[in-house]
A and B are shown apart, each in its own frame.
Chain A
Amino acid sequence: MAVLDIQGVTKKFSTTTAVDDFTLTVADGELVCLLGPSGSGKSTLLRMIGGFETATSGLITIDGEDVTRVPPERRPTGMVFQSHALWTHMNVFNNLAFGLKLRRLPKAEIKRKVEAVLDLVGLGGYGSRATTQLSGGQQQRVALARSLVLEPKILLLDEPFASLDQHLRERLREEVRDIQQRLKITTLFVTHGQDEALALADRIVVMRDGHTEQADRPDVVYREPATPFVAGFIGSMNLVDGTIANGVFTHTGFAVPLAAADGPATLAVRPEALDIVPAAGAGMAKIHRVTDYGTHAIVDVDLPDGVRLKAMVGEARNWSAGQAIDLKPRAFAAYRYNAAIFRSLDNG
């Protein structure tokens, strides 16, 4: 049970700034996802919290105690690494017991704690197994258990499911969420998978070039992206550059009425919020391709100047390539100079 506070943290590697004046407070028991593309600084930030990198400037506190320059072995944090980082010369039990032995706990207590945490991650009875005999998912569970057995104040997860297949990843993230909620442990989770972040997080921090683009609840980040970058990064998004004049956004025949000041703008509309209707004449756009995903279909449409948009429809069979259509966005936002200037009321 702990509060993590990061104040104005910067990390520079010679000429590169990996994390730039980053500030974030993670509440007690909260699960925050750091989401961003490669090179956005999310892993560097996590490593600074874990003590594996030293901040160039700024302050990191856990429950009010400054840990900015405390080495990892003396921090109340537990980290789960992307590659599991299990010690293959030890069996599962010894992997978990290693940290407890270093703390000189009695043997009986070590045994009790290790068995309890193995049960927690669904690996009861696996103590004597060699780590190399485990599947990728089981290895990651052991890595999680190894961190949890020490009862850290802050749990740090650095893309822990990146090396697992999609099915296993979905199952494990649900398990991690269950365990986190059961233990009420303050957790910071780094991922570049938006699905993972949306499914897991109490709050998502979208990072870009070492700073925060947006920090909010997953539904807000998804529905009300603060910047075109967030809009493009979270979920699938159509971004169309155009001009607003007299309350209408236009881009070569594609016109959308909206109440914003005249000037250049970027219109953002998600495929599921972009309706298409058969056009009587030439229409706003032509269908390029229809891809059927079973539960839904994605229609690629080309505007007259070649800009391609995606629209989600229920049935693929109603649409065909070359068909002329009109576009009717139900929910959309407009951005100018990296800030939202209009959001439609209908969230789709």
Chain B
Amino acid sequence: MTVLPANDIVGTNKSRRPVGLLLVAAPVLLVCWLIIWPIISAIIRTIWLPDAAAEKRFSLETYQFFFSDQYSINNLMVTLWTTAVTALILLLICLPIALYLRFATNRIAAYVQGLAIFPMFVPSIILSYAFIRVLGPNGTVDLLLNAVHLPHIRSPYLTPWGPVLGLVWDNIPLTVLILLSGLGNVSNQSIEAARDVGAGRLAVLWHIILPRISNSLLVAVSFTVLGIFSAFTLPYVLGPAAPEMMGPFMQRTFRDLNDPTTAITQAVIAFGFCIVFGLFYVYSVAKNRAP
């Protein structure tokens, strides 16, 4: 009987290469078809516009309009403001939760984790209406305050703080999970070693834990920013009518004003901001994978 060498059974590198490429081909083609092509198409449609004679020519007039229109700029600004405030509040809320979940050894931690992940299973529309019923005018909080003869609250509903509160609640699970996965890479012994050389809790957090989870922080912020820029339901239901966030703004421009070119321009501008954080994310993942 002839014994074949191992590479005859598993295949040589050369023969395996097409199989590997075929395996990634399907998702790559899907990404190209559903993401890359629409992006390229959107950019082309916003810079290759028909003139008076209906002949297409290169033009940046839709972008000029966006950046000269105060209403559009206000919408972009309120989106950036909401993004920054939400990201900051999320980190301030989620970092202590993630730290607690990483280092707590008692049973309560399991319940806290359950609570932190719970918003993931609540659809945005239900969250929005729950928010209105609780914090809106004549909501539960108002009724309770009224019952004890206290004045009405200034409801965040229909103010820029409405989407902020909703988006924070909605993004807590993902942010906690990302930070928790980063904290999983911080070994107990490296923290004990820091305490052993004299570091108190704050020094351990600042000098040991935060530098070790900086990539996770970056990823969490990137995901939050990407999510907020594409958010629609929460800003639409909870936010003010004007200025409005980019999601509802695009939808209204497209549907109510029946102006797809301007809506696509707004989308490309929103994409321009998102791509910066997307590149941050890709850079951070690549850095982690570097040998």
A229 at the interface (CB under 8 A from B): no
Chain A 65-97 interface residues, beta-carbon cutoff 8 Å to B: 71-74, 77-79, 81-83, 85-89
B211 near A81: Cβ-Cβ < 8 Å: no
B190 near A99: Cβ-Cβ < 8 Å: no
Q: Which stretch from B51-59, B175-183, B196-204, B225-233 is at the chain A interface?
A: B196-204
CB distance from A47 to the nearest CB of B (A): 8
A150 near B190: Cβ-Cβ < 8 Å: no
Q: Which residues of chain B have C-beta atoms less than 8 A from A52's C-beta?
A: 192, 195
Q: Which residues of chain B have C-beta atoms less than 8 A from A50's C-beta?
A: 192, 196
Q: Which residues of chain A have C-beta atoms less than 8 A from B197's C-beta?
A: 73, 78, 98-99, 102, 146-147, 150
CA A98 to CA B193, docked complex, whole Å: 11
CB distance from A60 to the nearest CB of B (A): 16
Q: Which residues of chain B have C-beta atoms less than 8 A from A82's C-beta?
A: 189
Q: Which residues of chain B have C-beta atoms less than 8 A from A146's C-beta?
A: 193, 197
A73 near B192: Cβ-Cβ < 8 Å: no
A182 at the interface (CB under 8 A from B): no
A85 near B192: Cβ-Cβ < 8 Å: yes
B196 near A77: Cβ-Cβ < 8 Å: yes
B189 near A99: Cβ-Cβ < 8 Å: no
Q: Which residues of chain A have C-beta atoms less than 8 A from B212's C-beta?
A: 87-89
CB distance from A117 to the nearest CB of B (A): 13
Q: Which residues of chain B have C-beta atoms less than 8 A from A99's C-beta?
A: 197-199
Partner pick for A98 among B189, B192, B194, CB 8 A cutoff: B194
Once A72-B192, A79-B192, A85-B190 are accepted as A-B contacts, the answer to whether A102 and B211 lie under 8 Å apart by CB is no
Closest-by-CB residue of B relative to A97 is B197
Given contacts A50-B192, A99-B198, A103-B198, 14 further A-B contacts (CB under 8 A): A50-B196, A52-B195, A72-B192, A73-B198, A78-B197, A79-B192, A79-B196, A85-B189, A85-B190, A85-B192, A87-B194, A89-B212, A102-B203, A150-B197
B252 at the interface (CB under 8 A from A): no
B207 at the interface (CB under 8 A from A): yes
Closest-by-CB residue of B relative to A100 is B197
Partner pick for B196 among A72, A87, A88, CB 8 A cutoff: A72
Once A85-B189, A87-B190 are accepted as A-B contacts, the answer to whether A73 and B196 lie under 8 Å apart by CB is yes
| A interface residues, Cβ below 8 angstroms from B | 50-52, 71-74, 77-79, 81-83, 85-89, 98-99, 102-103, 143, 146-147, 150
Closest-by-CB residue of A relative to B212 is A89
Q: Which residues of chain A have C-beta atoms less than 8 A from B194's C-beta?
A: 87, 98
A78 near B196: Cβ-Cβ < 8 Å: yes
CA A87 to CA B193, docked complex, whole Å: 9
CA A74 to CA B211, docked complex, whole Å: 24
B203 near A81: Cβ-Cβ < 8 Å: no
CB distance from B182 to the nearest CB of A (A): 13
- Could you pull out 16 A-B pairs where Cβ atoms are within 8 angstroms? A51-B195, A71-B195, A72-B196, A79-B192, A81-B189, A81-B193, A83-B189, A85-B193, A86-B190, A87-B208, A98-B207, A99-B197, A102-B197, A103-B198, A146-B193, A146-B197
CB distance from A96 to the nearest CB of B (A): 9
CA A146 to CA B190, docked complex, whole Å: 12
**Per-position 1/0 for B205-238, Cβ under 8 A of A:** 0011001100000000000000000000000000
Chain B 11-31 interface residues, beta-carbon cutoff 8 Å to A: none
Q: Which residues of chain A have C-beta atoms less than 8 A from B193's C-beta?
A: 79, 81, 85-87, 143, 146
Closest-by-CB residue of A relative to B185 is A88
B187 at the interface (CB under 8 A from A): yes
CB distance from A333 to the nearest CB of B (A): 40
CA A197 to CA B276, docked complex, whole Å: 57
Q: Which residues of chain B have C-beta atoms less than 8 A from A98's C-beta?
A: 194, 197, 199, 207
CB distance from A278 to the nearest CB of B (A): 46
CB distance from B147 to the nearest CB of A (A): 46
CB distance from B105 to the nearest CB of A (A): 11
CA A78 to CA B196, docked complex, whole Å: 6
Q: Which residues of chain A have C-beta atoms less than 8 A from B190's C-beta?
A: 85-87
Q: Which residues of chain B have C-beta atoms less than 8 A from A81's C-beta?
A: 189, 192-193
